Structure 1
Amino acid sequence: MATFSGGYDNDFVDQPPKSLECSICLLTLRDPMVISCCGSHFCEPCIGRINTNRKPCPLCNSPDFTTFLHKGVAREVNALRVYCPKKAQGCDWQGELGQMDHHLNPTANYRVCGFVMVDCKYKCGGSFERRVIDSHETDDCAKRPIEVQVAFLARRLEMLATENREIRTKFEAEIISLKAENTSLKQEIEARPLPPVPPFYFTILNYEQSKKDNCLITSPPFYSHLKGYKMRLQTFPNGDRTGQNTHLSLFVLIMRGEFDDTLQWPFTGRVTIDMYSENLKQWTPITVVDFKDSPVDRKCDRLTNGSWGYPQFLPQDQVAAEYMLKDGTYSHVRLRVNYVELY
């Protein structure tokens, strides 16, 4: 290849045809000249240099020749599609070679490469890529006029105001959403049935048969108070331990409940038990199950179920005489947890 290069070495979209190649520099023809001696085509810079030095034609070796611009070939060259020389920097433009000068013109306003370096119009001494020069001149340049600075501050304030409105709108929407969620949760909580609390009523159904069968009869669970201790009654109609076959035995069982994490342990409250007197037709206080008096090995903590009560709660003959309701072939005994007192 010749050391002198006068043709185009651009990055072409498609490889140019061989007919548009300069025989001297082996590049695409720049300002293609046709030579009179053999009709070959050369770049104007390449053949001009040979003409200036009075050298013969490089192809036919004719000492005398003239050259002139071949406009048809020039149109072919200008129509070749090329990539922008700033492609590596990020410019994605591609177009005809004849449009390249306009694309790279830093003073043009249309189809201008954004990566061409441009001097600041306020003569601050800096050069910037065309795509950011406007931002520099309006927002950053130390030599920009005072009215430009005022306009920049006005835009900045408007932008901050817009951001504040957006933030406020977002927070208002979140507040509305949280209020709706809170209302929904309240409705859900209100719709839930409240846990039973004293006074809590429990009936030992078919008491005499349960006594014959030596059954353990337990009540449904109830709570000492709202969000309190979960507990239930345990009754042995035929007695338990020292009350076997002679007494109605009764115990209060402390159970694991959903509010245990917020309660004090061990449980040391007092549970007041009433029974309904069929003779007097009224509720009669019978006893108090006081967990404060339970032995150490019977203390109720939140990890285990524990109970306390009386194996000899009430003699069976007294239950039958005063507290048992006869209902045909059935008999029932009614109990009531009147209240739970916490220490």
Structure 2
Amino acid sequence: AHGARARAARVKSRIRGGYDCEFVTPPPDVFQIECPICLQIPKEPCLISCPCGKEFCRECIERIKEDGKPCPLCNLSDFTFLRHHGSERYLKAQEVWCSHKKDGCKWTGKLGEYERHLNRNPSPENQLTGCQFVPIECEHGCGEWFQRHHIASHQKGACPKRPYSCEHCHEYESTFEDVTKNHYPQCVKYPVTCPNKCRDAPFERQNVNNHVKDECPLTEVDCPLHYAGCEVRLPRKDMPEHMTDTVTHLTLLATVTQSLLKENQELRQTTEDLKKENQELRQTTEVLKKEN
């Protein structure tokens, strides 16, 4: 990607002037086939009025003129230039190799068709059309460049800025980078493992607390007879074995039962005493009523 990006930068710097390709069969020497400024095949060739009589790319010579510089060949500052349509027609009719021949492009065609073949600044719907070795910038704005025949796989499956929706909650939509880095750590349906590292399958984040509280075999729990005085805490998976210790648990239950029986007897006695006091109060009340 970085090599393609650097190559794209070099291409951009070159294509300001002429055509960056080569003729299949070089034209006769009588035709000038190289702009003296960009050293490429002249694009929209212009004939200069200087004694040098050379042809330049229109854009190259316009930059020289706009900057107030003299002719780069004869150093004459007062010059004019005129579009040379005859030369342009001839050059555009010549067969050229694609400039990406070294990368593997097999295309040859007329110079007039060369830029359409390259399609260096494609519209989104026309992005994959043209020379498959031209560096193309990713349309998602990640800043990476790839040769055209690689750009589709990057944009669909590798670009961190590609459109992406959470496959767990099916609600959050953003970029792949945002979904995976920012949304996943908060998504209530994202699969997470048990914090106790039990071997049960991953759970939706929203269900983990209930799993740990009610199901996890590694969660430490109180003995069911905690109320009876058993202070043992064990992982849930070990509690059934602990509950087989019937002697200890029966002893605890007997102690609790005796304590409850004693408390029950005391409550009964208290109830009887209260009933007796209540009866005495009623009798006293009746006596007082009669005396009045």
TM-score, length basis structure 1 = 0.33
Q: Which has the higher contact order (CA 8 A, sep 6+)?
A: 1
The structure with the largest helix share of the pair is 2
Q: TM-score, normalised by structure 2?
A: 0.38
Q: Which has the larger radius of gyration?
A: 1
Larger strand percent = 1
